[in-house]
Amino acid sequence: MEAVKKILFVCVENAGRSQMAEAFARKYGDGEVEALSAGTMPPNEVNSDVVKAMQEKGIDLSKNKPKLITGKMVQDANVVIVMGCSAQGFCPAPMFNKMTEWNLEDPKGKPIEKVREIRDEIEKRVKKLIDEVA
């Protein structure tokens, strides 16, 4: 039996996109992937619109806390997905050689309709990713 694949989702704050991706990977990758998310400059809480949008999908992120990325997280991951952070001036991407850039728009400050669009795109990509790595 093959080992579980570890996927690390990274964005600057770990308050939106990477939190959604981690949650979807946990939901759909049950037993096949281990998901974790982190950021380079995490705030104190997950974006409230992201929490709302994920509740619509039956996933509760209200107790999640943004996490600071560590070298060990990167080292332990089989796959590192960078959510699309170059627009914010600092991107951790150059640090990773097993990295894939998804280039997704940041939901921060966007209307809930846009947050839903981003959420649905993340869900679609996570399902595809799990099919590829599992």
Distances (CA, A) of 25 to 19, 62, 88: 10, 17, 25
Q: Which two tokens stand for residue 51?
A: 């929490």
Question: Are the C-beta atoms of residues 99 and 80 closer than 8 Å to each other?
Answer: yes
The DSSP secondary-structure symbol of 111 reads -
Q: What CATH number does the domain containing 123 carry?
A: 3.40.50.2300
Hey, what are 92's tokens?
A: 């951790």
- Return mean pLDDT, the chain: 89
Pairing of strands 79-82, 33-39: unpaired
Range of the domain at 62: 5-133
Section 115-132 average pLDDT? 97
Domain count, the chain: 1
Q: Quick one: tokens of 68? A: 């600071």
Q: Is the pLDDT of residue 14 over 90?
A: yes
pLDDT tens per residue across span 46-100: 999 999 999 999 999 999 999 999 989 988 999 999 998 654 444 555 555 678 8
**Distance between CA atoms of 64 and 72, rounded to whole angstroms?**
20
